Amino acid sequence: MKIKLSIILLVLSTSVSMAQNSAKAKTLLDEVYNKVKSYDNIFVDFKYSLNNEEANINTETRGDVTMQGDKYLFNYLGSKQVYDGKKVYTVVPENEEVTIEEKLDDENTITPSKMLTFYKQGHNYDWDILQNIQGRKIQFVKLTPIDTNSEIKSILLGIDVETKHIYKLIETGKNGTKTTITVNSFKIDQPLSKTLFTFDENKYKNDGYYIIRN
C-alpha cells in the first residue's frame, strides 16, 4: 500500500510540475505576443539554416522581412515577396518572373506576417532550458503541435528574457530535418515609405518580366 501511495504521489507531483511549467511557458509567450502586437512595424534580419544528416543536407543563408500589420516585404535567396493586404507578389529576378496570387489562408502555413505570432494557437507549451548567449539570457520554450498529423515534431523558441523578443527558432521535423532561424537584428517602429508594400506591375512589365497569375 505504501509503495502504491508513493507512486500515486509521484505521478500527481509530476503532473502538477508539468502544468506549472506549461503555464509559465504560456505566460512568457503571451508577453512576447503582446509586445510584438504593440509595435507599428518590425524589421527582422535573420540567418536561416537547414540541416538533415541522413539526406546530407546542410545549407545556410540570410534574409530580412519588414512587417506592418498583415502586410510584409520579404527578401530571401535573391527573391522578393510583397503582401499588400490583398495579394502576394513574388519577384524572382534570376528568372525575370513575377507571380501574383491570392493570400494563402492555410492556418498551418507560417507566412512572414505570422513569423513572430504563429505560436499563439495550435501548440502545447513546455518550459525548457535557459542559455546565456553572448551576455543575453535566452529562455527556450518547447512547442509541440496539437495536430498529431503535423509534419513538425517540435519547435524550440528562444526568447530574450530582457526584451521579450524572439531570438531563435529551432524547428525539428518528423523526417529529421532541423530548421534554425537566428535573429541578427530586430528593429521596431522604423520610418517606412508609403509605397513599401505597393507593387508596381507596370515597372516589371517594362523591364521585360513575365507575369504569372495564379
pLDDT of residue 214: 82
Give the domain ranges of the chain: 40-213
- Summarised one tens digit per residue, pLDDT across range 92-144 is 999 999 999 987 655 555 667 777 888 888 899 999 999 999 999 999 999 99
Share of the chain above pLDDT 90, in %: 71
Q: How many CB atoms lie within 10 A of CB 69?
A: 11
**What's the Rg (C-alpha) of the chain?**
21
Residue 78's identity, in one-letter code, is G
pLDDT of residue 104: 65
Cα 70 to Cα 3, 33, 41, 78, 203: the distances in Å are 57, 14, 10, 22, 24
- Summarised one tens digit per residue, pLDDT across range 152-166 is 999 999 999 999 999
**Which range is least confidently modeled, 99-113, 167-181, 196-210?**
99-113
Question: Could you give the maximum distance between any two Cα atoms of the chain, in Å?
Answer: 84
Backbone angles phi, psi at 132, to 5 degrees: -100, 110
DSSP letters, 36-47, are HHT-S-EEEEEE
- Summarised one tens digit per residue, pLDDT across range 23-54 is 899 999 999 999 999 999 999 999 999 998 88
Instruction: Report the helix count and the strand count for the chain, using DSSP H and E.
Output: 2, 12
Its pTM stands at 0.84
Alpha helices (runs of H) in the chain, residue ranges in sequence order: 2-37, 201-206
CATH code for the domain defined by 40-213: 2.50.20.10
Instruction: Specify the higher pLDDT residue, 60 or 4.
Output: 60
Q: Write down the residue that cell numbers 522578393 correspond to.
A: 80
Mean pLDDT of 71-84: 93
How far apart are the C-alpha atoms of 79 and 50, rounded to whole Å?
18
Phi-psi region of 126 (alpha: psi -120 to 50; beta: other; left: phi over 0): beta
